[in-house]
Homo-oligomer: A and B are copies of this chain.
């Protein structure tokens, strides 16, 4: 399971397994959405009232460093994290800010001209769509 995997990855990296960290793993891998730091903090604080925001920031940063989660830059207002590291695009409703996954093909092949590709070592790509979801279109 995903959580076991993260525990193993942390162990392998010589990092300690703490209840706070495990709770963060659990939250990330049992919610399908794209939580913000505050979403995660709110959940962890429910189980560990004394948890610090710093711990959440640190753990997320460590996970990004391990390549186990990704940061979504779809909006400057909020920073979202994605435990699904398979390449996929996202669409965000500009009103309710909900983010949905869209699985598409890799673009670096057919989108990047040779002239660009030969000057960069490509490390990643992000595709974001913006729109109004049906719920927000109908609402007053």
User: Interface on A for B, CB 8 Å cutoff?
Assistant: 71, 73-76, 79, 89, 91, 93-94, 100, 102, 104-105, 107-108, 111-113, 116, 119-134, 137
Contacts and interface: CB of A to CB of B under 8 A. Distances in A.
Contacts of A111: 89, 102, 104-105, 107, 127, 129
29 contacts: A71-B76, A73-B75, A73-B128, A76-B76, A89-B111, A91-B112, A102-B111, A102-B112, A102-B116, A104-B111, A105-B111, A107-B111, A107-B127, A108-B129, A111-B127, A111-B129, A112-B129, A119-B133, A120-B129, A120-B131, A120-B133, A121-B131, A121-B137, A122-B130, A122-B131, A125-B130, A126-B126, A127-B127, A128-B128
Contacts of A126: 74, 126-128, 130
A38 to B, nearest CB: 15
A100 B108 CA distance: 15
Nearest to A133: B120
A70 to B, nearest CB: 11
